[in-house]
């Protein structure tokens, strides 16, 4: 019975049903309930991280998942093994109880005549039973499923003491055959019946029963169970990684969409608020994009809701605007980085608009041309400033010349006027001589006034601003000009607010400027016409106190565009007896006040001269400051 021997190594396989391994798949430190949330938070925090970092994160999560699955599967297999062994012990107990029950039906004589052996052999025929043996306390076999082994020694007395049979069934895997599981316990059928313990001559009649079961299918079942658990864990892990990966991809997609939307919004704001006009054409010359400034310059209508930006009508509307778009595109295709030039835009209404054009190609990430960008900068204000600068330069040069010329002319002119006065008095009895003297005096007086206006234009006096009622100033202008209007049968009217029209002006100089405008309007208006002087608040866009607007409107013949462009030029006049300095001096006075003067006229429809003055109170001069 070498297969039934106990070795020291077999002690490790001893099983105690009262000590069953315990555990919970969800209690470990790597269990899913405690690990998913941190991983989700880390994924949320690294949604915008580089792709390799996210892949590394998923790989670490996979390794952690494998470790957790291994621990959980190991515990599950161990529990299943313990349950199988508990079932084996239960079956062994059932066989032992069957033997004890059968033994109680036998008397002592039957036990002695070998009936017990036949009972053991009969019970051992149950499926899965390898062998059954009943021994005494010294290990000698009293009955065995193999009758030939009766009387042999199953285990030595030392081994029996080490096995220590008791009332609880114990077991182990056979050290010689791992497919055999041996169980043992005390065999006491008489004691179960309440019979007194009896002793034979050899000593105690304590018996032990050994039941060996075939457990070859147990190992295969445990392996299959572990394989199933690994398959389930693998599927769960793959599904979890797939969900995590999809979550990261979705977050990256959402982040990309948000960045794209922000970039589009930023681009739209840049295009909309760019101070110059922007036009984008595709490679076929079709209009793809334009801002409000460009549409205003080109005279295009705003796109209606639902219209495509590449509408052929929009591209066709660009033609005939003074820009040769195909030529510009061809020039850009020749490799020129930027095309810059100044030209004039032709508009359906209004004068040509001077613009500065900058053109460039639009390239995609691969370097292919996707379109052309044109930036149109309005040069009208710059040209106006340039004209004003040139005019001021001319006025400065003229002022220097006028100052010297007036000084040289005025002294001889005074002498001429004195002699003319003397001769007129001497020739008062000569009608022809007296008339000649009067003409000479009038002409010298006119020359003196011209010199005075010339000096005033060349060297303007400093203003003496003070709070003044503009309505009162304009009433004085109307009163002074009324005789001239009555002489030409022109109706002179005033539209003035009642009170509250105070401004910081030099009243005398402002009256001089407005009076020049009114006199010119009366002279340009035919008999029966009308000249109106109006004062109103100027609510022009801008910050600060609203200013004032003075309008002088006549119903005369108006002016041509060429004449209107030169009316403020010194010595330019359309009158036979005019000096051409009145409007130039008026403009100078208005600009000294920080205002502006402009003319609006159409031939045959009269002229309106407009003076705009800033609002606000006069600033007090510091003590000891210059006047």
Whole-number pLDDT of residue 543: 52
Q: How many angstroms separate the CA atoms of 418 and 433, rounded?
A: 16
Strand pairing class (199-200; 141-144): unpaired
pLDDT band at 619 (very low <50, low <70, confident <90, very high): low
Tens digit of pLDDT for each residue in 134-186?
998 888 988 888 888 888 888 889 998 898 898 888 888 888 888 889 999 99
Contact by Cβ (8 Å): 124, 133: no
Residue 481 backbone phi and psi in degrees, to 5: -85, -5
Whole-number pLDDT of residue 513: 87
Sequence-distant (≥ 6) Cβ neighbours of residue 259 within 8 angstroms: none
Neighbouring C-alpha atoms within 13 Å toward the C-beta of 40: 9
Pairwise pLDDT comparison (293 vs 554), residue with the higher score? 554
Contact by Cβ (8 Å): 133, 143: yes
pLDDT band at 201 (very low <50, low <70, confident <90, very high): very low
Pairwise pLDDT comparison (52 vs 113), residue with the higher score? 52
Q: Based on the number of CB atoms within 10 Å of its own CB, is 348 exposed (0-12), middle (13-18) or buried (19 or more)?
A: exposed
Q: Tell me how crowded residue 233 is: count the other CB atoms within 10 A of its CB.
A: 18
Tell me the residue length of the chain.
627
428-433-438-444 Cα dihedral, nearest 10 degrees: -130
∠ at Cα 520 (517, 522), nearest 5°? Answer: 110
pLDDT at 606 over 60: yes
Tens digit of pLDDT for each residue in 382-394?
877 877 787 777 7
Whole-number pLDDT of residue 270: 82
Whole-number pLDDT of residue 272: 80
Provide the 3-class DSSP secondary structure of residue 568.
coil
Q: What is the CA radius of gyration of the chain?
A: 60
Contact by Cβ (8 Å): 499, 471: yes
Asked which of 171-180, 343-352, 430-439, 580-589 is least confident by mean pLDDT, the reply is 343-352
Arithmetic mean of pLDDT, 76-86: 88
Sequence-distant (≥ 6) Cβ neighbours of residue 355 within 8 angstroms: 277, 297, 342, 343, 344, 345, 376, 377, 378, 379
Whole-number pLDDT of residue 532: 93
Tens digit of pLDDT for each residue in 316-359?
556 556 677 788 888 888 876 788 888 877 766 666 778 888 88
pLDDT at 399 over 60: yes
pLDDT at 46 over 60: no
Contact by Cβ (8 Å): 608, 553: yes
Q: Tell me how crowded residue 264 is: count the other CB atoms within 10 A of its CB.
A: 10
pLDDT at 4 over 80: no
Whole-number pLDDT of residue 8: 35
pLDDT band at 43 (very low <50, low <70, confident <90, very high): very low
Strand pairing class (353-363; 369-378): antiparallel
Arithmetic mean of pLDDT, 203-227: 82
> Mean pLDDT of all residues in the chain?
76
pLDDT at 499 over 80: no
Whole-number pLDDT of residue 107: 57
The reported pTM is 0.40
DSSP string, 326-339: HHHHHHHHTT-S-E
């Amino acid at each position: 019975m070498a297969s039934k021997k106990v070795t020291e190594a077999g002690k490790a396989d001893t099983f105690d049903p009262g000590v069953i391994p315990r555990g919970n798949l969800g209690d470990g430190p790597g269990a899913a309930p405690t690990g998913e949330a941190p991983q989700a938070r880390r994924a949320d925090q690294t949604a915008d991280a580089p792709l390799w970092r996210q892949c590394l994160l998923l790989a670490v999560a996979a390794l952690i998942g494998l470790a957790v699955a291994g621990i959980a599967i190991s515990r599950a297999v161990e529990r299943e093994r313990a349950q199988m062994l508990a079932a084996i012990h239960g079956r062994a107990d059932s066989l032992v109880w069957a033997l004890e029950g059968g033994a109680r039906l036998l008397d002592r004589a039957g036990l002695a005549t070998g009936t017990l052996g036949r009972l053991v052999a009969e019970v051992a025929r149950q499926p899965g039973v390898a062998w059954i043996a009943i021994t005494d306390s010294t290990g000698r076999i009293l009955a065995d499923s193999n009758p030939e082994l009766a009387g042999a020694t199953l285990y030595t007395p030392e081994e029996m003491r080490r096995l220590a049979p008791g009332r609880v069934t114990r077991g182990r895997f056979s050290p010689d055959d791992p497919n055999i599981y041996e169980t043992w316990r005390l065999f006491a059928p008489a004691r179960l019946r309440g019979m007194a313990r009896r002793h034979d001559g050899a000593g105690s009649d304590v018996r032990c029963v050994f039941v060996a079961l075939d457990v070859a299918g147990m190992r295969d079942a445990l392996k299959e169970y572990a394989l199933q658990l690994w398959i389930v864990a693998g599927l769960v892990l793959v599904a979890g990684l797939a969900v995590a990966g999809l979550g990261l991809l979705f977050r990256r997609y959402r982040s990309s969409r948000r960045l794209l939307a922000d970039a589009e919004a930023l681009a739209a704001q840049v295009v909309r608020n760019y101070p110059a006009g922007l036009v984008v054409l595709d490679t076929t010359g079709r209009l793809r994009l334009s801002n409000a400034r460009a549409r205003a310059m080109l005279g295009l209508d705003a796109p209606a809701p639902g219209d495509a930006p590449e509408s052929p009508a929009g591209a066709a509307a660009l033609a005939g605007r003074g820009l040769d778009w195909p030529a510009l595109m061809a020039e850009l295709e020749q490799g020129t980085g930027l095309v810059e030039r100044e030209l004039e835009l032709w508009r359906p209404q209004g004068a040509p608009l001077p613009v500065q054009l900058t053109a460039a190609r639009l390239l995609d990430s691969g370097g292919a041309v996707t379109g052309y960008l044109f930036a149109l900068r309005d040069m009208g204000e710059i040209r106006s400033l340039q004209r004003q600068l040139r005019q001021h330069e001319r006025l400065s040069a003229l002022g220097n010349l006028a100052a010297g010329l007036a000084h040289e002319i005025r002294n001889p002119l005074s002498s001429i006027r004195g002699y003319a006065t003397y001769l007129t008095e001497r020739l008062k009895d000569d009608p022809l001589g007296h008339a000649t003297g009067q003409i000479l005096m009038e002409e010298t007086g006119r020359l003196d006034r011209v010199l005075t206006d010339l000096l005033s234009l060349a060297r303007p006096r400093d203003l003496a601003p003070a709070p003044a009622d503009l309505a009162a100033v304009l009433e004085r202008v109307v009163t002074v000009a009324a005789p001239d209007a009555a002489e030409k049968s022109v109706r002179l009217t005033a539209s003035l607010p009642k009170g509250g029209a105070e401004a910081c002006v030099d009243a005398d100089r402002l009256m001089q400027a407005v009076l020049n405008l009114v006199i010119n309007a009366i002279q340009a208006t035919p008999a029966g016409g009308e000249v109106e002087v109006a004062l109103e608040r100027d609510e022009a866009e801008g910050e600060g106190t609203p200013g004032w607007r003075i309008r002088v409107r006549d119903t005369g013949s108006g002016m041509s565009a060429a004449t209107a462009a030169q009316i403020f030029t010194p010595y330019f006049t359309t009158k036979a007896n005019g000096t051409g300095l009145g409007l130039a001096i008026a403009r100078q006075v208005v600009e000294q006040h920080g205002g502006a003067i402009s003319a609006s006229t159409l031939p045959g429809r009269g002229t309106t001269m407009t003076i705009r003055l800033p609002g606000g109170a006069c600033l007090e001069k510091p003590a000891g400051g210059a006047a």
